[in-house]
Structure 1
Amino acid sequence: MAVELKTREHIRGIRKAGRVVAACHKALSMRLAPGVTTREIDRFVERFMLDRGATPAQKGYKGYPYATCASVNDVVCHGFPDSEPLESGDIVTIDMVADINGWKADSAWTYIVGKSTAATERLLHVAKQAMLEGIKMAQPGNYIGDIGYAVQRRAEREGYGVVRMFVGHGIGRKMHEFPQVEHVGPPGQGVRLEEGMVITIEPIVTTGRPDVYVGNDGWTARTVDGSWAAQFEHTVAITKVGPIVLTRWD
């Protein structure tokens, strides 16, 4: 399968969508609190995007009914927003994709609700650093395996697991494009990275084993052992001057 390389104009289109995603995550970071529900978050995100000329690309994708995925504690990804109030100490990952004029940008972020613990802060720190290590390797001439190796090395040397079942992906006109971006594996293998590729790097890091299962709704994925999971994701353009994050906000 061929990789669709993006022109500068295409990347500008993805960046516009990425700015909406970034602004929405920044706004969310100041709204999350104990007692808020993920259904309320979902409505906020959808309205935020629509007010800025974007549409939530996840809504309706393969029948998915919401504008966001909202994954709490042991849910690794694809959690359904619901009316259960978040509690102090919970962690919640909000994953969203904005579409502007057909171009899409994707970013997930894990937030601590209310008071945190040292263990929770460490999980989020390592998960975020693992993503950033992967982004550093998104250079022309490197390989998908170099990204996965960097992510896996950072997480596992700190004693955490990296989920294998879910991967990053190319993105542009479609939400999921070739290639897949695995977050584990040997360096120097897989698709070679080229200038003009736009991909997501989105490792899911767990406090326990990386094994997961999908629930009866066909979407919600949880850790088998009940351990908590954190995910950080950016949409990244690969350019001759190195990786450019198109969804940066923090």
Structure 2
Amino acid sequence: MREGMISFGFGGVSFADEWTEELTTVVIVRIAVGNKHVSMQLSRTLSGLTNLLFNRRNLDEVPNAERQRLRPGKLSPRRPVPDHIPRPPYVNSRQPPGIASGAEVHDEKGIECMRSSGKLAAQVLQYAATLVKPGIKTDDIDQAVHQMIIDNGAYPSPLGYGGFPKSVCTSVNECICHGIPDSRALEDGDIINIDVTVYLNGYHGDTSATFFCGDVDDEARKLVQVTEECLYRAISICAPGVEYKKIGKTIHDHADKYSYGVVRHFVGHGVGRVFHADPVVQHFRNNDGGRMMLNQTFTIEPMLTIGSVNPVMWDDNWTVVTEDGSLSAQFEHTILITKDGAEILTQC
């Protein structure tokens, strides 16, 4: 694991200049805030990190809009998983999760296992999408997802990952990622990203998509459409020997056509026997080295915003929203690099 450490208090904050330079080996940051420790998955370029660490602002109305900013709801108790279902190692470990060194490259058996976990993740996401309607609580979505995963003999990968309390991430409107399902009911006009990962037969399958709730306005629909286009354009250029950095350029170039922001603080990643592995997949223009390998699996998961790309973290140390309350959308697939290009594993 590679991990950097930044420690600070809320009085007389200082931030070393060296942390604002481009770092090429730090992708997980362990932050000490008083007596709390928080692990974040970040891009290797930490030039904008101060925005993420210090922006914990009041939950106000979105400027010049009728839509209210998100507010935390109440959490239900942690849902149980039957004892016979295998857990990922991090569930019972006290060690903070991170990105494991080394790419996820598979033999024939591993590829079949990845196809199975990817297919189940896709089926669960497809089912979750049918639940999206005004009035449903995000916690109800979590309950349904949790049940479907364990009914299929799999473990919901987010549950217990670094202390995450639920089985799925539900990120509504301005939530960029890692939204915790709670008592908030979806409202007409919301958009919601549902991020599903399952651990089946020792392998993780990871996918997400953004869905419409009721009558969604044209601005939100366009953002969601372009974000999905970014994902598929990026997948289309993947093949053995292709540089990872071409993913970021492809996404950034397409987003620029519509003046959308590309979130830099959160990245795609290798996935397979571990939840997060090399490579770190940047979604913006970058100069990272490395090339794709045959039989390798990783995720691509662009996050686009209508306004600011600066993230603000809630006090739950998970939920990340846009600084200005503007909408954000995300799509994600797990892909397998084949001799002919890329196979999407997380589709029905």
* TM norm. shorter chain > 0.5: yes
Residues matched between the structures, number: 248
Whole-angstrom CA distance in 1 between matches of 2:284 and 2:111: 27
Q: Secondary structure at the match of 2:193?
A: strand
Normalising by structure 2, we get a TM-score of 0.70
Equivalent position of 1:53 in the other structure: 153
* Residue 130 of structure 1: how far off its partner (Å): 0.4
Report the equivalent of 2:233: 133
Q: How far did residue 136 of structure 1 move?
A: 1.1
Greater Rg, structure 1 or structure 2?
Answer: 2
**What value does the CA root-mean-square deviation take over the aligned residues?**
1.1
Spell out, residue by residue over 1:64-103, the C-alpha distance to the aligned partner (whole angstroms, 9 max, x if none).
Answer: 1100111110010001101111001001111111011111
Aligned counterparts of 1:149 and 1:52: Cα–Cα separation in 2: 38
Instruction: Give, as a single letter, the amino acid of the residue that structure 2 aligns with 1:127.
Output: T
Question: How do 1:118-197 residues align onto structure 2 when only pairs under 5 Å count?
Answer: 118-186=218-286, 189-197=288-296
Return the alpha-carbon distance in structure 2 between the equivalents of residues 90 and 7 of structure 1.
Answer: 42
| Partner residue, 2:71 | none
| Structure 1 CA distance for aligned equivalents of residues 104 and 318 of structure 2 | 28
Q: Are 1:43 and 2:172 an aligned pair?
A: no
Gaps of 5+ in 2: 1-100
Structure 1 residue runs of 4 or more that deviate by more than 4 Å after TM superposition: none
Larger deviation: 229-238 or 113-122? 113-122
Q: Which residue is 1:214 aligned to?
A: 313
Distance 1:84 1:173 in 2: 34
- TM-score for the superposition, normalised by structure 1: 0.96
CA distance in 2, matches of 1:225, 1:8: 47
d(CA) in 1 for partners of 2:165, 2:238: 33
How far apart, in 2, do the equivalents of 1:86 and 1:10 lie? 38
Structure 2 residue aligned with 1:198: 297
Question: What CA distance in whole angstroms lies between the structure 1 residues aligned with 2:158 and 2:241?
Answer: 32
- Relative contact order (alpha carbons < 8 A, sep ≥ 6): 1 or 2 greater? 1
Structure 1: runs of 5 or more not aligned: none
Offset from partner CA, 1:149-192 (integer Å, 9 cap, x none): 101111121110110000000001110011110001147x4211
Cα distance in 2 between the residues matched to 1:219 and 1:45:
19
Task: Indicate the SS of the match to 1:169.
Answer: strand
Give 1:58's aligned amino acid: P
Kindly, what percent of the aligned residue pairs are identical? 37
Equivalent of 1:115 in 199, 215, 229: 215
Identify the structure with the greater helix proportion: 1
Amino acid at match of 2:344: V
**Secondary structure of the equivalent of 2:103?**
coil
